[in-house]
Chain A
Amino acid sequence: MKITRTEVEHVSRLARLALSTEELDSLTGEMDAILGYVEQLATLDTEGIVPTAHAVPMENAFRPDEAKDGFTPEQALSNAPDAAESAFRVRRVIE
């Protein structure tokens, strides 16, 4: 086994993703199969190979630090599930 059900449960908490019992069962099998498949990468010698994070060689992209118009508060809040004044409202975080 590449991955256990307990590990899948742990990853679901890291991903902030609630999973049903059935989902946990099926994902454990599916992730195990996929991780078994990707195992083939381990057979390649990559000693000294520089990792590619980005396919086009680029340096940092800079631009002048100038103020520009952005969204109005109304636009920014236009899709909010819950808003109050000019803020997104969520449940109390500190009890």
Chain B
Amino acid sequence: MTVYDLTLAELRAKLDKREISAVEVTKTYLDRIAATNPALNTFITICNETALAEAQAADQAIAAGKAQALTGLPIAAKDIFNTAGLRTTCASRILDNYVSPYDATAIARIKEQKAVIVGKLNMDEFAMGSSNENSAFGPARNPWNQDLVPGGSSGGSAASVAARQAVASLGTDTGGSIRQPAAHCSVVGLKPTYGRVSRYGVIAYASSLDQVGPVTRDVRDCALMLQAIAGYDPADSTSVNTPVADYQSNLTGDLKGLKIGLPKEYFVEGLDDDVRKAVELAADKYRELGAEIIEVSLPHTSYAVACYYLIATAEASSNLARYDGVRYGLRAENTENLVDMYMQTRAAGFGSEVKRRIMLGTYALSSGYYDAYYLKAQKVRTLIRQDFLNAFESVDALLTPVAPTPAFALGEKVNDPLQMYLSDIYTIPVNLAGTCAMSLPCGFSTDERPIGLQLIGKPFDEATLLRTAHAYEQATDWHKKQANI
């Protein structure tokens, strides 16, 4: 067992007992990143110098008896988080040279605990994608099989934790961007309820759907990470001022009386056989553990992808209007006038998927089409959200697949945007409903590709969600399997 094989909670104990120093841990991880990043391309920026300085500060805090949950632990962040003094690209050419003047709140919170930021992670450009292939810095690869995508958009966040390049990472999830890559890389990923974690300083994609969350080796680590970042932030007016539970103390293993729903619309044609079997076995395991499994219906499921691709692109077209070459980022040279400068800057700076979504969103919001597309999608969103609220009248959580198939091959879906969009069919409805959900390892396909289980919880009830996930994890060994890299 080497240092980088330990979980966050295990490393915490070793640091607190002074069996190892934060500087030693950080050096081990930086060496591991240097050795494995050329193959995996999970990092856009590696923080060799600043990480060691942060580790020294962490060792001083530990020596002074001031260690907190994340003190001295090597954590990486998706390159969508503003990080003071560090390059923040959002995997786009348009922000290639952008250095953040400030920290996102989620970053500030882990820094307050003296966590060590080891680097900024690869992703789909502006978080638009399901495979990490839309990165201006090249695709990240799946540590389980480098011919496979790691998933996206937080591909680097999931792959770096699976490859043990960081003990935990931060990602964002707009339509499945934490949960789907977590499933493809056999790690734990949580999308908290919309409003649970501040989005301040997170580069915006679709503001009514985006949410920050952790990727970790196991559920306990996930609880510790959520604890650090959850809570109201006056700088994000959409963060909600509601109490944050003590997540770790909720990991009791007790599922007595818990009711889990299986939405019948999620187990239909298009679901891979291996995925179906793994998820059904997980449901059996929950029965053994004392939970009651009930079939439920989310009748508007089949409309979710269409609804999402109108709302998300509309919001994106508005959010991405800020990249105009005036205040930061790329500016096109030799242009005719100001408007031409905007148009050429955006043409040169954005990749093809970002252009596609800006165009679709602009169209959906344009005069004459607003009611038919954007407003209609917002009404359908109400129906989808109501489906979940109705289901939660009779069950405490929902159990579903994360993705219809295990990880696909690099290049397999790049020329068919619609097929790529449909790979998020089981994760998108959760963002539209605004509730919380997580992905945890639940098996492998016959050809050794990881499979993830999705648990969906009631709004702001991450405590029950984590308890439900933890009980399954305690009863299985999937989370202990490691990618051979």
A contact residues vs B (CB 8 Å cutoff): 3, 7-8, 11-20, 23, 27, 30-31, 33-35, 37-38, 40-42, 44, 46, 49-56, 58, 61, 63, 71, 75-76, 78-82, 88, 90-91, 93
Contacts and interface: CB of A to CB of B under 8 A. Distances in A.
Interface stretch (B148-156, B352-360, B399-407): B352-360
B420 to A, nearest CB: 11
Nearest to A46: B379
A37 B307 CA distance: 10
B310 A38 contact: yes
Contacts of B356: 27, 30-31
A18 B327 contact: no
Contacts of A54: 208, 238, 434
Contact of A55 (B194, B331, B344, B363): B194
Given A41-B306, A41-B307, A51 B362 contact: no
Contact of B193 (A23, A27, A49, A56): A56
A14 B362 contact: yes
Given A11-B363, A61-B237, A90-B326, A17 B355 contact: yes
A53 B329 CA distance: 30
B1 interface: no
Given A17-B347, A81-B325, A51 B101 contact: no
21 contacts: A11-B359, A12-B359, A13-B343, A15-B317, A15-B346, A17-B358, A31-B359, A31-B360, A34-B417, A37-B418, A40-B302, A40-B303, A41-B303, A44-B380, A46-B379, A49-B383, A55-B434, A55-B435, A71-B102, A79-B101, A79-B328
B377 A50 contact: no
Contacts of B378: 51-53
Given A18-B346, A38-B306, A80 B355 contact: no
Nearest to A55: B434
A51 B380 CA distance: 8
A41 B376 contact: yes
Given A15-B362, A37-B309, A56-B194, 4 more contacts: A16-B324, A17-B343, A52-B379, A81-B325
A19 B341 CA distance: 13
A49 B379 CA distance: 6
Given A51-B375, A93-B338, A17 B385 contact: no
A17 B357 CA distance: 12
Contact of B342 (A16, A19, A55, A78): A16
Given A41-B303, A44-B383, A58-B240, A27 B355 contact: yes
Contacts of A8: 359
B381 interface: yes
A33 B360 CA distance: 11
A32 to B, nearest CB: 11
A42 B376 contact: yes
Interface in B313-347: 317, 321, 324-331, 335, 337-344, 346-347
Contacts of A44: 300, 303, 380, 383
Contact of A49 (B358, B382, B417): B382
B91 interface: no
Contact of B382 (A14, A51, A90): A51
Contact of A91 (B321, B329, B341, B417): B341
A55 B432 contact: yes
Nearest to A75: B101
A89 B352 CA distance: 29
Contacts of A27: 355-356, 359
A37 B62 CA distance: 56
A88 B324 CA distance: 12
